[in-house]
Structure 1
Protein backbone atom coordinates (compact mmCIF):
# COMPACT_ATOMS: atom_id res chain seq x y z
CA UNK A 1 0.00 0.00 0.00
CA UNK A 2 2.86 2.35 0.79
CA UNK A 3 4.34 1.67 -2.64
CA UNK A 4 1.06 2.64 -4.31
CA UNK A 5 0.91 5.87 -2.29
CA UNK A 6 4.48 6.74 -3.27
CA UNK A 7 3.79 6.08 -6.95
CA UNK A 8 0.66 8.25 -6.88
CA UNK A 9 2.57 10.99 -5.04
CA UNK A 10 5.38 11.03 -7.61
CA UNK A 11 2.89 11.01 -10.49
CA UNK A 12 1.13 14.04 -8.99
CA UNK A 13 4.46 15.84 -8.56
CA UNK A 14 5.42 15.06 -12.17
CA UNK A 15 2.02 16.31 -13.36
CA UNK A 16 2.38 19.50 -11.33
CA UNK A 17 5.88 20.21 -12.65
CA UNK A 18 4.83 19.70 -16.28
CA UNK A 19 1.70 21.80 -15.70
CA UNK A 20 3.74 24.63 -14.23
CA UNK A 21 6.29 24.46 -17.07
CA UNK A 22 3.49 24.75 -19.65
CA UNK A 23 1.91 27.77 -17.92
CA UNK A 24 4.80 30.19 -17.59
CA UNK A 25 2.99 33.05 -19.32
CA UNK A 26 2.55 36.09 -17.14
CA UNK A 27 -0.90 37.41 -16.33
CA UNK A 28 -1.82 40.77 -14.81
CA UNK A 29 -3.23 40.75 -11.31
CA UNK A 30 -5.99 43.35 -10.88
CA UNK A 31 -8.11 44.04 -7.85
CA UNK A 32 -11.54 45.56 -8.49
CA UNK A 33 -10.43 46.96 -11.81
CA UNK A 34 -7.53 49.02 -10.44
CA UNK A 35 -5.07 48.66 -13.30
CA UNK A 36 -2.33 51.09 -12.37
CA UNK A 37 -1.31 48.98 -9.38
CA UNK A 38 -1.49 45.70 -11.28
CA UNK A 39 1.59 43.55 -11.69
CA UNK A 40 2.48 40.58 -13.85
CA UNK A 41 2.75 37.13 -12.29
CA UNK A 42 3.27 33.74 -13.95
CA UNK A 43 -0.02 31.85 -14.31
CA UNK A 44 1.22 28.82 -12.39
CA UNK A 45 1.88 31.02 -9.33
CA UNK A 46 -1.69 32.33 -9.46
CA UNK A 47 -3.01 28.76 -9.62
CA UNK A 48 -0.63 27.56 -6.91
CA UNK A 49 -1.58 30.45 -4.62
CA UNK A 50 -5.28 29.68 -5.18
CA UNK A 51 -4.75 26.03 -4.28
CA UNK A 52 -2.85 26.89 -1.10
CA UNK A 53 -5.46 29.48 -0.13
CA UNK A 54 -8.15 26.83 -0.56
CA UNK A 55 -6.16 24.40 1.58
CA UNK A 56 -5.78 27.01 4.33
CA UNK A 57 -9.49 27.89 4.30
CA UNK A 58 -10.48 24.20 4.39
CA UNK A 59 -8.00 23.61 7.23
CA UNK A 60 -9.48 26.44 9.29
CA UNK A 61 -12.98 25.10 8.70
CA UNK A 62 -11.82 21.62 9.72
CA UNK A 63 -10.31 22.97 12.94
CA UNK A 64 -13.57 24.75 13.80
CA UNK A 65 -15.59 21.57 13.16
CA UNK A 66 -13.19 19.47 15.26
CA UNK A 67 -13.37 21.91 18.18
CA UNK A 68 -17.18 21.88 18.06
CA UNK A 69 -17.24 18.07 17.99
CA UNK A 70 -14.78 17.85 20.91
CA UNK A 71 -17.04 20.17 22.92
CA UNK A 72 -20.06 17.99 22.10
CA UNK A 73 -18.16 14.84 23.10
CA UNK A 74 -17.19 16.46 26.42
CA UNK A 75 -20.83 17.41 27.10
CA UNK A 76 -22.01 13.90 26.20
CA UNK A 77 -19.43 12.32 28.52
CA UNK A 78 -20.65 14.53 31.38
CA UNK A 79 -24.23 13.50 30.61
CA UNK A 80 -23.26 9.82 30.55
CA UNK A 81 -21.57 10.15 33.95
CA UNK A 82 -24.62 11.84 35.47
CA UNK A 83 -26.98 9.25 33.96
CA UNK A 84 -24.80 6.40 35.26
CA UNK A 85 -24.89 7.94 38.75
CA UNK A 86 -28.66 8.21 38.53
CA UNK A 87 -28.92 4.61 37.32
CA UNK A 88 -26.73 3.34 40.16
CA UNK A 89 -28.79 5.25 42.72
CA UNK A 90 -31.99 3.78 41.27
CA UNK A 91 -30.51 0.28 41.34
CA UNK A 92 -29.76 0.61 45.04
CA UNK A 93 -33.39 1.47 45.91
CA UNK A 94 -35.52 -1.40 47.25
CA UNK A 95 -38.15 -2.79 44.91
CA UNK A 96 -41.67 -1.96 46.08
CA UNK A 97 -45.07 -2.47 44.51
CA UNK A 98 -46.71 0.68 43.34
CA UNK A 99 -50.30 1.42 44.33
CA UNK A 100 -51.66 0.68 40.86
CA UNK A 101 -49.96 -2.68 40.71
CA UNK A 102 -51.32 -3.66 44.14
CA UNK A 103 -54.91 -2.76 43.15
CA UNK A 104 -54.73 -4.95 40.05
CA UNK A 105 -53.21 -7.74 42.10
CA UNK A 106 -56.06 -7.53 44.64
CA UNK A 107 -58.69 -7.65 41.88
CA UNK A 108 -57.21 -10.84 40.47
CA UNK A 109 -57.04 -12.68 43.79
CA UNK A 110 -60.20 -14.62 44.46
CA UNK A 111 -61.30 -15.61 47.92
CA UNK A 112 -61.84 -19.36 48.56
CA UNK A 113 -65.58 -18.90 49.00
CA UNK A 114 -65.86 -17.29 45.56
CA UNK A 115 -63.97 -20.13 43.91
CA UNK A 116 -66.64 -22.70 44.69
CA UNK A 117 -69.58 -20.63 43.46
CA UNK A 118 -71.28 -22.00 40.36
CA UNK A 119 -71.25 -19.86 37.30
Structure 2
Protein backbone atom coordinates (compact mmCIF):
# COMPACT_ATOMS: atom_id res chain seq x y z
CA UNK A 1 0.00 0.00 0.00
CA UNK A 2 2.89 2.34 0.77
CA UNK A 3 4.34 1.78 -2.71
CA UNK A 4 0.99 2.61 -4.26
CA UNK A 5 0.92 5.95 -2.41
CA UNK A 6 4.40 6.80 -3.66
CA UNK A 7 3.51 5.90 -7.24
CA UNK A 8 0.32 7.95 -7.10
CA UNK A 9 2.19 10.93 -5.62
CA UNK A 10 4.86 10.78 -8.34
CA UNK A 11 2.20 10.57 -11.05
CA UNK A 12 0.39 13.62 -9.64
CA UNK A 13 3.65 15.60 -9.51
CA UNK A 14 4.44 14.62 -13.11
CA UNK A 15 0.96 15.70 -14.20
CA UNK A 16 1.34 19.06 -12.44
CA UNK A 17 4.76 19.57 -14.04
CA UNK A 18 3.44 18.75 -17.52
CA UNK A 19 0.51 21.17 -17.12
CA UNK A 20 2.84 23.91 -15.86
CA UNK A 21 5.30 23.48 -18.75
CA UNK A 22 2.60 23.37 -21.42
CA UNK A 23 0.85 26.47 -20.02
CA UNK A 24 3.92 28.50 -19.06
CA UNK A 25 3.00 31.58 -21.11
CA UNK A 26 -0.49 31.70 -19.63
CA UNK A 27 0.74 31.18 -16.07
CA UNK A 28 3.24 34.06 -16.21
CA UNK A 29 0.98 36.50 -18.04
CA UNK A 30 0.13 39.48 -15.82
CA UNK A 31 -3.43 39.91 -14.64
CA UNK A 32 -4.81 42.92 -12.78
CA UNK A 33 -7.98 43.05 -10.75
CA UNK A 34 -10.22 46.05 -10.42
CA UNK A 35 -12.56 46.64 -7.48
CA UNK A 36 -15.09 49.39 -8.05
CA UNK A 37 -17.57 50.30 -5.33
CA UNK A 38 -19.53 53.53 -5.24
CA UNK A 39 -17.23 55.00 -2.63
CA UNK A 40 -14.02 53.04 -3.23
CA UNK A 41 -12.01 52.05 -6.27
CA UNK A 42 -8.86 49.93 -6.34
CA UNK A 43 -6.85 48.26 -9.08
CA UNK A 44 -4.01 45.84 -8.47
CA UNK A 45 -0.77 45.93 -10.35
CA UNK A 46 -0.12 43.14 -12.84
CA UNK A 47 0.40 39.86 -11.03
CA UNK A 48 1.21 36.53 -12.69
CA UNK A 49 -1.72 34.15 -12.91
CA UNK A 50 0.32 31.45 -11.15
CA UNK A 51 0.73 33.74 -8.12
CA UNK A 52 -3.02 34.33 -8.02
CA UNK A 53 -3.62 30.56 -8.18
CA UNK A 54 -1.17 29.94 -5.32
CA UNK A 55 -2.69 32.69 -3.17
CA UNK A 56 -6.19 31.34 -3.80
CA UNK A 57 -5.04 27.83 -2.90
CA UNK A 58 -3.45 29.04 0.33
CA UNK A 59 -6.57 30.99 1.32
CA UNK A 60 -8.67 27.86 0.75
CA UNK A 61 -6.20 25.74 2.71
CA UNK A 62 -6.29 28.18 5.63
CA UNK A 63 -10.10 28.28 5.57
CA UNK A 64 -10.35 24.49 5.62
CA UNK A 65 -7.77 24.29 8.43
CA UNK A 66 -9.68 26.86 10.50
CA UNK A 67 -12.95 24.99 10.00
CA UNK A 68 -11.26 21.69 10.92
CA UNK A 69 -9.78 23.12 14.12
CA UNK A 70 -13.15 24.55 15.14
CA UNK A 71 -14.84 21.23 14.43
CA UNK A 72 -12.16 19.32 16.36
CA UNK A 73 -12.57 21.51 19.46
CA UNK A 74 -16.34 21.06 19.30
CA UNK A 75 -15.96 17.29 19.11
CA UNK A 76 -13.48 17.28 22.01
CA UNK A 77 -16.01 19.21 24.09
CA UNK A 78 -18.72 16.71 23.17
CA UNK A 79 -16.45 13.76 24.03
CA UNK A 80 -15.63 15.29 27.40
CA UNK A 81 -19.35 15.79 28.12
CA UNK A 82 -20.21 12.22 27.11
CA UNK A 83 -17.33 10.79 29.17
CA UNK A 84 -18.58 12.72 32.21
CA UNK A 85 -22.11 11.41 31.63
CA UNK A 86 -20.83 7.83 31.26
CA UNK A 87 -18.85 8.17 34.50
CA UNK A 88 -21.97 9.40 36.31
CA UNK A 89 -23.96 6.44 34.96
CA UNK A 90 -21.23 4.04 36.10
CA UNK A 91 -21.24 5.57 39.57
CA UNK A 92 -25.03 5.27 39.74
CA UNK A 93 -24.89 1.64 38.60
CA UNK A 94 -22.22 0.79 41.19
CA UNK A 95 -24.23 2.44 43.95
CA UNK A 96 -27.31 0.42 42.93
CA UNK A 97 -25.27 -2.79 42.93
CA UNK A 98 -24.04 -2.10 46.44
CA UNK A 99 -27.52 -1.67 47.95
CA UNK A 100 -28.26 -4.40 50.50
CA UNK A 101 -31.07 -6.83 49.74
CA UNK A 102 -33.44 -7.20 52.72
CA UNK A 103 -36.15 -9.74 53.43
CA UNK A 104 -38.77 -7.01 53.03
CA UNK A 105 -37.71 -6.63 49.40
CA UNK A 106 -38.03 -10.36 48.79
CA UNK A 107 -41.49 -10.55 50.42
CA UNK A 108 -42.78 -7.55 48.44
CA UNK A 109 -41.50 -9.12 45.20
CA UNK A 110 -43.29 -12.40 45.96
CA UNK A 111 -46.60 -10.67 46.70
CA UNK A 112 -46.52 -8.73 43.44
CA UNK A 113 -45.83 -11.93 41.49
CA UNK A 114 -48.83 -13.71 43.05
CA UNK A 115 -51.26 -10.94 42.14
Question: TM-score band (shorter)?
Answer: 0.7 to 0.9
Q: Which has the higher helix share?
A: 2
TM-score (normalizing by structure 2): 0.75
Unaligned runs of 5+ in 1: 108-119
Residues matched between the structures, number: 105
Residue 94 (structure 1) aligns with = 100
Q: Which runs of 5+ in 2 are unaligned?
A: none
Q: Cα distance, 1:103 vs. partner? A: 4.5
- TM-score with structure 1 length normalisation? 0.73
Aligned equivalent of 2:81, options 68, 75, 90? 75
1:11 deviates by 2.1
Contact 1:20 1:44 in 2 (8 A): no
Alpha carbons of structure 1 residues 31 and 7: separation in structure 2 relative to 1, 3 Å: farther
CA RMSD of aligned residues (A): 2.3
Q: Which structure has the larger Rg? A: 1
1:59 corresponds to: 65
- Secondary structure in 1 matching 2:100: coil
State how far apart, in whole Å, the 1-side matches of 2:87 and 2:34 are: 58
